[in-house]
Amino acid sequence: MTSIYYTPPPIDTPLGIQICSAGSFTGRTEPLSVVTPYYNIVYYTRGRGSHCRNGVKIASFGPGSITVSEPGMKVERRTLPGHPIDASSVAFRGPTAEALFARYNSATPHLFSDGGDAGYRSYFTRINAALKSGTPDNMLKAHAVLIELIIETLRKKRLAAGTPARDDVHDFMEFAERHRNSETLPIESFIEKRKMSYESFRKKFRKISGMSPHDFWLQAKLSAAKKMLLESTLTVETIAENVGIMNPSYFSRLFIRKEGISPSVFRSRDGGAL
């Protein structure tokens, strides 16, 4: 098991927030049971298990899952055998954290899924890189990025609070992820097995996810593409092909439409902050 954590000294910033610790761990297998004194956000990138309350399983987690803890909340985590955990986390406190949680937070759930988006994960990478540098400017930058992370996390948490139990919608999300790198999405086979019309499923899926099944599939492609843009030196054309988009011009137009910037600008902006 490997852990890299930063515990910056208290600093006076105009942001009203203090990072208590931040970092990442890999290969963790031991169970966890702790009452946290801080606000805490954990993002899982590998491994599977369950979170419990008073010894009773309440939700499963896997790659792309997020846990949000508040001061005084007891967190119980069990790891599945053979599924060591890799994750990033940040613990924090301060009046800005209290104000943001009061404004954006939802009571449940404290554990939910982000879908493994590289753009979300980059918040932690940028915070850790700034803390590692240790310069006054970068320390301030780490706290500024943390505020962005809190707002985005609580926004996702609020959306997840309205998500129903696992059903055809969640099955399709996994189906779309499995076909993420395909040139076409064989949604007809998915629909036929469930004996429903495409239109009825499309309405059901949009009501829960806020997007069409096809758009969700495209978003899965873009999430994988963003990860490669941040973590590799592959060309934009190669990345497009890797996610099943053979026309690089279409890939760039799609990226701009969904993300607001081109793939190359995304790489230079967020990749340069890593």
Fold of the 2-161 domain: Jelly Rolls (2.60.120)
> What is the predicted pLDDT for the residue at 12?
74
Using the predicted structure, report yes or no on whether residue 208 has a pLDDT greater than 70.
Answer: no
Interval 110-159: pLDDT, tens: 888 887 788 899 999 999 999 999 898 999 999 999 999 999 999 888 87
Tokens 């760039």 belong to 252
Beta pairing partners, 111: 67
Q: List, by residue range, all CATH 1.10.10.60 domains of the chain.
A: 168-273
> What is the predicted pLDDT for the residue at 272?
47
Q: Tell me the range of 43-52, 98-107, 232-241 where mean pLDDT is highest.
A: 232-241
> What is the predicted pLDDT for the residue at 1?
53
> What is the predicted pLDDT for the residue at 82?
85
26: part of which helix (H) or strand (E)? strand 18-28
Mean local confidence (pLDDT), 231-257: 94
Non-local (6+) Cβ contacts of 246 within 8 A are 183, 240
Residue 274 and residue 130: Cα distance in Å, rounded?
9
Residue 241 and residue 247: Cα distance in Å, rounded?
8
The answer to whether the beta carbons of residues 199 and 185 sit under 8 Å apart is no
Using the predicted structure, report yes or no on whether residue 10 has a pLDDT greater than 90.
Answer: no
CA 164 to chain CA centroid, nearest Å: 19
> What is the predicted pLDDT for the residue at 274?
40
Burial of residue 101 (CB within 10 Å: 0-12, 13-18, 19+) is: middle
Q: List, by residue range, all CATH 2.60.120.280 domains of the chain.
A: 2-161
CA 12 to chain CA centroid, nearest Å: 29
Q: How many percent of the chain have pLDDT more than 90? A: 45
Identity at 84, one-letter amino acid code: P
- Model confidence, pTM: 0.60
The answer to whether the beta carbons of residues 209 and 176 sit under 8 Å apart is no
Helix, coil or strand: residue 43: strand
Using the predicted structure, report yes or no on whether residue 11 has a pLDDT greater than 70.
Answer: yes
Domain 168-273: CATH class, spelled out: mainly alpha
Using the predicted structure, report yes or no on whether residue 187 has a pLDDT greater than 80.
Answer: yes
pLDDT band of 108, cuts 50, 70, 90: low
